[in-house]
Amino acid sequence: MSTTIDTIKEQISNNSILLYMKGNPQMPQCGFSSQAVQALMACGEKFAFVNILDNPDIRAELPKYANWPTFPQLWVNGELVGGCDIIVEMYQSGELQTLIAEAAKTNQ
């Protein structure tokens, strides 16, 4: 039987760009998720997402697994990048665009 942690590991390994968020990219359910989505969408690459509001088990377990207490969480190539503040800072500095472009290339 698959555990929630197994599900999380599978999601992270199967998606080179993955955002755990509240809501979905078209309808974010919190300001932080909205900012993260805007920065990611501005990078111009497809990304996967998991709505933690629809997945209470993931919402409960991911912070322990990631050792990161808040949402959204951006994972790129299996590594936790961070939450909203880090995503926005990286976008403003140009780092996020490079990271996302590289991850999208490896996924093709």
Binding-site residue set for glutathione: 22, 59, 71, 84-85
Structure confidence at residue 106 (pLDDT): 76
Greatest Cα pair distance in the chain: 43
Structure confidence at residue 1 (pLDDT): 60
CA proximity to 72, closest of 105, 39, 94: 39
Strand partners, 105: none
Binding-site residue set for [2Fe-2S] cluster: 30
Per-residue pLDDT of the chain (108 residues; tens, 9 = 90+): 679 999 999 999 999 999 999 999 999 999 999 999 999 999 999 999 999 999 999 999 999 999 999 999 999 999 999 999 999 999 999 999 999 999 998 765
Structural domain boundaries enclosing 35: 4-106
Q: Give this prediction's pTM.
A: 0.95
Round to whole Å and give the CA distance between 89 and 101.
17
Question: SS3 of 1, please?
Answer: coil
How many structural domains does the chain have?
A: 1
Structure confidence at residue 3 (pLDDT): 95
CATH of residue 80's domain is 3.40.30.10
Residue with tokens 């932080």: 32
Binding-site residue set: 22, 30, 59, 71, 84-85
